[in-house]
Amino acid sequence: MPVKKGADEAGGFRGFGSQALPFLLALRENNDREWFAEHKSTFVEECDAPLRELVREVGAGLEAAGSPLAPLAKNPVFRIYRDVRFTHDKSPYKTNVGAALYREGDKSRPGLLYIHVEPGKSFVAAGFYQPGAPALKAIRSAIAEDAPGFEAVVRSLKSKKLDLSMGDPLSRMPGGFEDHADSPVAEFLRLRSFVTSRPLLDDDLERRDLPEVIVKFAGDARPLLEFLWSRVV
């Protein structure tokens, strides 16, 4: 009997199933509970099970590399069910699947590795996404006080063909940092998140070595995480 995509007989990751992306595309047009119930086995076999195995292998690879990033012990992947309590869009399901690995596997500690799977829009990202006010102030203070150190982090990312995301910055310097408006790191002080990412092609999702690809990305992004971790408890 041929082995299905997702995991081999020993439990190893074998890529997402060939129906994973078609399922997510179809879900965009059929985002209702009845359709999902009829196709739930496809979701489980082609999307959810491979993602869980991917996260497990990425976690093992990060541990071997000495990284503190680890999956949650319980529920290591995000639920596909949307929280519709505070939105006008009452569609019950997300049209992507994803997971995050946190410092010491603790969701309450800032700084993470995020895996996003969506047709034509998959990516892996690392950093501090929209940290709370105390952490954000600590990060900005660290960058302002050690501009050369943070510039070195940015250069390290660029050497790995990565960039710090500059999306959604403040229009002016944040309160308390006005004196740094002429600093070489002024543009970074206006950021709300400190994240770098790398796209994943649809074909990448079927690669058996995808765990190694993601572990390598985490290593490339590690200077950013280490700089921020050293300043934010």
Domain 20-229 has CATH 2.30.110: no
Burial tier of 229 (Cβ tally within 10 Å: 0-12, 13-18, 19+): middle
Query: Rounded to a whole number, what is the distance in angstroms from the first to the last CA of the chain?
Result: 51
Kindly list the distances between the CA atom of residue 70 and the CA atoms of 42, 105, 175, in Å, as whole numbers in the listed order: 27, 4, 35
How far apart CA 127 and CA 196 sit, in angstroms, is 6
- With a CB cutoff of 8 Å and minimum separation 6, the contacts of 224 are 126, 127, 153, 157, 164, 194, 196
Report the predicted TM-score, pTM, of the whole model to 2 decimal places: 0.92
How far apart CA 50 and CA 11 sit, in angstroms, is 10
Give the residue ranges of the chain where pLDDT is below 70: 1-11, 233
The residue whose two tokens read 């709370």 is 132
**pLDDT digits 0-9 by tens, 10-32:** 568 999 999 999 999 999 999 99
**pLDDT digits 0-9 by tens, 60-101:** 999 999 999 999 999 999 999 999 888 888 999 999 999 999
Cα dihedral 18, 202, 48, 220, rounded to 10, equals 140
The residue whose two tokens read 């206006």 is 190
